[in-house]
Structures are given as structure tokens and as C-alpha cells.
Structure 1
Amino acid sequence: MASEKGVMLLDYWVSPFGQRARIALAEKGVEYVYKEENLGQKSELLLKSNPVHKKIPVLIHDGKPVCESLIIVEYIDDVWSDKAPLLPSDPYQRAQARFWADFVDKKVYDCGTRLWKLKGDEQEAAKKEMIEILQLLEAQLGDKKYFGGDTFGFIDVAFIPFTNWFYSYETCGNFSIEEVAPKLVAWAKRCMERESVAKTLYDPKKVYEFVCTLKKRFGVE
């Protein structure tokens, strides 16, 4: 097992991407220093650690930075491999887990942003797309406890942070996720029973307050 000495996470409280790293670290029982970033005035450490994208999260382990949330989660899984494996051992299942985590990356965040940022027909199109995305993910989940089966794993870590944005998506888009994807809502409740998730995710209404500040900033209201 690698030394836990010198583990730091550069992050921002509401970021679903940073929350992935926090959940993975909690699942592994890794102690670390949390450094909250001011995204309006990024620290020199963040700019030095992620000079290409200049974004959070960044995991710094023994002075070496690791960037991009899914890569960070894989790194955590590889380094602290003796506890709570997140990726399956079977190569095909690993590939499938990476595919669906990438699907979440490419689809959910972008579509959710359009839901609160746009109005009228464009917002309606975003709502329709979000419902299709959620129903695809629900079909992938099926009747399983978690996306990988009975074990909380990589896809769950990738997707669960977005569920505390569900209230914002519903409120902005005027629809019910429980009506269009009830199995996803039940899955989210199961995940929230895990200490790693419950201690990381914020109250959905607090997230919505944050969304409202963004709406004001972008002149959406």
C-alpha cells in the first residue's frame, strides 16, 4: 500500500467532479488535506499543478499532481488497491465501467448546465435530452443494486455526485426525475446510505441556491 503521507485535494465544495475524488478517498479510508479553491482567483498551487486546464479537482500525492476526476478516481483505485476496489478485475467489465463513466462525463454535466442556463425552446430541448440520458442510465442500471452489481464501484462514484443536482434540474426544467427514472432515484437513495457518499454530497437545496447565483450571474432570470 502506498504511503498516505502528502495527499492533498484541490477542490471546490459544489463540484460533482471533485466529489468523485472525495468519495473514492473515503471509500479507501485515505486521510488527506482538503484545500478549497477560489475559482474566481485560482491559487498558484492550482495553476502550477494543472497548468493545461487550470481546473479542479487536482489530487497531489507525494508532491505529484494528478488531474481530471475520472483519472483521479482510477489513480486512487490503483494506488490504494488493498481496500474497496472500484473498477472490476475483468477487462471487459472494466471497459464497460469506463464507457458509462465517460458517458456521464460527456452528457449529464453539459445537459444539466443547459437546463438552468437556457430558456424557452432551447431549455425544452435540454429537458428532453436529459430525460433520454437518465433513461439510458436507468436501463444500464436495470434491477441491480449498483451499476456494477452488488458492489459500489466506478460508475456509481462517477454519477452519484450529480444526484444532488437533480432538484435543480427538476426545478429549472419543470419535470420529475422520479417519474421518468424511478430506479435511478432509488439507486441514489441506496448510495446515500453509504458514509462516503452521505458525508460528501450537499443538500440539494443548497446546490440549488448555488445554481440561482449562477443564473443571476449569467442574466438568466
Structure 2
Amino acid sequence: MEEQGSEVVLIGFWASTYCHRVELALNIKGIPYEFVEEDLSNKSDLLIQYNPVHKKVPVLVHKGKAIAESLVILEYIDDCWDNTPKLLPQDPHERAKIRFWANFYDQKVLLPSTYPIIYSEGEEREKTMAEFRELLRMFEEGIKKDFPTRKPFFNGEDLGFLDVTVAANSCMYRAFEEALALDYELNNYPAFLSWLNALKGCPVVKETLPPHDKLVAIIRKMFLKQT
């Protein structure tokens, strides 16, 4: 961090989808920020100071005050910078539905798409992959049912809260497939795949997310020796 200190600082890691969410929200809102790259193998005193509970990225530091956990940070950004486009709708029921599916994606879909699959083999991997596909089916059908007018994004042409939550991971599925010879069978989920492709084609997403080849390389470096 600069000696004078920036008003908004994001402590993160360039390959973290959780950090990408925060970057996307800041970029969508047009909020200037300083990005401080964290070495997750040798966590800095700065990270531990601002996130002493989990010691994880991302951490948003706004005027010296720290906010942790990506979904919490997204809501903070939307509340604190009350300019358009808004990430969450005003209607309480719509907000509740979006929060529900964002948490479902985080707690049920996102994690099963990485570590449980990567650290399993043979029949066990097939089982964990089948569980992931069923959860993805539930997510896809739930989104279609609860938000039938979403075209293509939750705010029309602008990304909303759930778009940002999913968009940050949109580049990772193909990267994990290529790096670790996985097959998520995303073609079997046409609505979800169409959404991912629309997200990846959105200019702010393309400008924010890292290149595919760079992701493939770091995934191989992190996981191949352990599989």
C-alpha cells in the first residue's frame, strides 16, 4: 500500500475468483482502487492485520476499515457507493432470492467444482462429479424459475449481484477442464452455459478476468503434483 494510502484498497490474489468478484463490482461502479497482490504461500502481516479471523483474500480496505468475504464485500460496495448500476434490486423479495442463489452457488456449486473433484479418483471422482452436476442442474432450474425475465443479465445489459458472483468463476471451468483433464459436461446445461458465454463476452468481464492460458498454467502448477 502506498505511503499516503489509497481510499480503496483490495488485498487479493490475481487467480482468485473471489477476488475477481470484488474487482468486477468496483469496475462496474467505476470506483478507483489500489490492488495489493498477496502471496498466499507466505501471508503478509497486512493480510493478517486486516483479516485476522480467516486470513484469506479478498479483503477490501475502505478509508482504513476492512471488510472480508467476497459476497459481504459486494453488498458493502453496493450500499456504500449508491450510484448506478445497482447490483441488487430494491424489492426485498427479489433481493432475498438473489442472496439465496448467490449463497447456494458459493456453498454448494462452486466448491464441489474444485477441491472434492480434484482430490478424488476413479469411482469416487465420478461420484463427486455426479453430485456437482446435480447441484448445477438445481441451480440452473432455480434461476430459470425465479428470474424468468433475466435477459441477458439481471440488470438487462448491466451485470447484477448474481451475474458478478458467477462471472468471476466463468473462466475457471474450461481452465480446470484443460489443466486437469476434467469434463464438467456443461453442454448438458444449455441455460447455464449460455449465461456463462454471455458473461465472458461482457466487456467489463473480459477486461477484469485473467487470460485462459495463465489460469491453466497456475492450476497445473498448484494441483497436478497432488493428483
Contact 1:20 1:157 in 2 (8 A): yes
Distance between the aligned counterparts of 1:175 and 1:192, measured in 2? 19
Letter in 2 for 1:210: I
Is the Cα–Cα contact under 8 Å of residues 146 and 152 in structure 1 kept in the other structure?
A: no
1:21-61 Cα shifts (integer Å, max 9, x gaps): 00000010000000110001111111000000000000000
1:134 maps to 136
One-letter identity of the residue aligned with 2:135 = I
Q: Aligned partner of 1:140: which letter?
A: G
AA of the residue aligned to 2:194:
A
Once the two structures are TM-superposed, the CA of residue 198 in structure 1 deviates from its matched residue by 0.9
Please say which of residues 112-121 and 85-94 is displaced more in the overlay.
112-121
| Conserved 8 A contact 1:141-1:147 | no
CA distance in 2, matches of 1:56, 1:207: 18
Contact kept? 1:178, 1:185, Cα under 8 Å: yes
Query: In structure 2, do the counterparts of structure 1 residues 54 and 76 end up closer, same or farther at CA, with 3 Å as the change threshold?
Result: same
1:54 matched residue in structure 2: 55
- Choose which of 120, 123, 146 in structure 1 pairs with 2:125: 123
Cα drift, residue 173 of structure 1: 6.3
Match of 1:181 among 178, 181, 189: 189
Instruction: Give the Cα–Cα distance (whole angstroms) in 2 for the partners of residues 211 and 201 of structure 1.
Output: 15
Deviations 1:149-200 (A, max 9, x none): 6252111111111121111444446435342112222112222232221112
- Paired with 1:127 and 1:191, the residues of 2 have a C-alpha distance of 24
Q: Which residue pairs with 1:212 in the alignment?
A: 220
Question: Which has the larger displacement, 59-68 or 108-117?
Answer: 108-117
Closer/same/farther in 2, CA of residues 199 and 211 from structure 1, 3 Å limit: same
**For the Cα contact (< 8 Å) 1:77–1:86, is it kept in 2?**
yes
8 Å CA contact retained: 2:59, 2:66 = yes
Relative to structure 1, the CA distance from residue 43 to residue 176 in structure 2 (aligned partners, 3 Å threshold; closer, same or farther) is: closer
How far apart, in 2, do the equivalents of 1:52 and 1:146 lie?
A: 38
Selected match of 2:164 from 157, 168, 184: 157
- What is the aligned partner in structure 1 of residue 116 from structure 2? 114
CA-atom RMSD, angstroms? Answer: 1.9
- Corresponding residue pairs, total: 215
Alignment-derived partner of residue 3 in structure 2: none
Deviation at 1:138, TM superposition (A): 1.9
1:129 Cα deviation from its structure 2 partner: 1.5
Q: Which whole-Å CA distance do the structure 2 matches of 1:168 and 1:129 have between them?
A: 20
Instruction: State whether structure 2 residue 191 is matched by structure 1 residue 190.
Output: no
Task: Provide structure 1 residue ranges, at least 5 long, that are not aligned to the other structure.
Answer: none
In the TM superposition, 1:64-79 aligns within 5 A as 64-79=65-80
Identity %: 34
Query: What's the counterpart of residue 86 of structure 2?
Result: 85
Do structure 1's residue 25 and structure 2's residue 12 form an aligned pair? no
TM-score between both structures, scaled by the size of structure 1: 0.89
Q: Which moved further from structure 2: 170-179 or 86-95?
A: 170-179
Gapped runs of 5+ residues in structure 2?
A: 1-5
Report which stretch shifted further, 129-138 or 102-111: 129-138
Q: Distance in 1 between matches of 2:208 and 2:133?
A: 25
Task: Provide the residue aligned with 2:154 in structure 1.
Answer: 148
Q: Is the 8 A contact 2:173 2:184 kept in 1?
A: no
Cα distance per residue 1:63-92 (max 9 Å; x no partner): 000000000000000111112100110001
TM-score by length of structure 2 reads 0.87
TM-aligned CA distance change 1:207 to 1:40, over 3 Å: same
CA distance in 2, matches of 1:119, 1:93: 40
